[in-house]
Structure 1
């Protein structure tokens, strides 16, 4: 099982680039998401609606989702390899493909771009609302573009580099465990009245799980900026200066690189659930934000993802080779 993971990683990435996430194929993250929703309803009934009660409920949620998202794929993979090595390899490849979001992130962001090109701001706002968590009803054209570029930058790590990293380290089971953690954070990791205590453990665990991948992603994007002819020097400068200009210790890592590579300013104040959150800016406004920054961001996304796939597969092969000599 161990020796086939690098090949499954590469093939899974290539299949994702080709197929993306077809709507007819039920996505495993939907299973994780539905499980989180059901468990949340049950746990809120079992535990009292107090600070301590909600924290305990949130901790139980984290333990159950982590156990399920990691162990179930591991058991399925072991069963597949026990039947035949080819079936096991195909299962590894399929799991890897399912948990990457390279093409789907590009496709969803380019829907926003096409509406902006048509000057249809209401449809552009709706399109961006499908991929961001902030309120979009009042966004200007510049605001829509910035929100799209920011989500491309953040999800370069969360949706691609981090899953590839965990696939290389521990195979599909660890990759699934990461997606379980990340999905919990996206559903309950909010600092609002409903989730401040219930989602605290999920948010903290997501910060831990993304700490290393976010920084690897940033350096891969800096390299990608040079390769694509963007402002690699400024990407590194803004990364080193602004990578902590966010409430999360990880989100600004890749956003800072993206802002520097494009020579624009990102982040700043935003509305979430009708409430204004004051946030620092990231990058310098060396030029005005324009809708063409969306395809530019996607080029950086693709190059960074390709670099990550190559690096992680190579390191996995090296590790397997060293392991074989021991």
Structure 2
């Protein structure tokens, strides 16, 4: 792909506001959310890989979901934090392409991963006796690899199509990161093919993932309704509650953002993008841990003693001094 011979050599982010005080406030809020995202998802990954009783398909997928949350949040947050304090809120032409590629890739992979996790819950509830055989390590790795491959290929199509266009100016992106729709608005080429491709691929990707989720939960609900005891029904439903919550938040936001006309891409979409790109990665560790006794138990066993030990060590050293 040619990255030279362009009139536009950089893009300027218009961001959220031009008020300096509000920018500082947003900087600290975003910094807090980003640090929480890194800590929360890192803790989930550590807990899963250091506790043998969490070495199951469900937690294997959750660990990859946490990794993806760290990745696609890190594609957006650092540059946004920098721009909130900078006077010249710019990103190079190549930097914009790289940001778009990795952000779209990780977002697509996460959508597919949620579909994989729905299939895992279907196998666990509807075929419990064959679950260990059907969801063995090899199958889990293949499902995760398929999600990653699909995400990176989708993103390559979007990014290569977008940056083969001509950008003559203006170069001001009405957003806080390089997403496909606001970048297409700046092109002086015909973008109708790009918009159609974006709509088709987002719809197809969402349909594959969301369709898998709908079909899986249709069978899951049917199986749960046949369980005789109320306690059994509650237990079965609780194994899916966290995943359902994550699905509703993720797909509700992404459908609002992308399945709308380009002319409506404005302030409302910027707010939705903040929630989608920054807040959701912070919420996922909470969603998968607050109602999960196994994760709580692993936290109390692994992480909590470390903090307690450090506190006591510090207290003892202080007394000695």
Fold shared per TM-score above 0.5 = no
Compare relative contact order (CA 8 Å, sep 6+) and give the higher one, 1 or 2. Answer: 2
Larger Rg, first or second structure (1 or 2): 2
Structure-2-length-normalised TM-score: 0.34
TM-score, reference length from structure 1: 0.34
Q: Which has the higher helix share?
A: 2
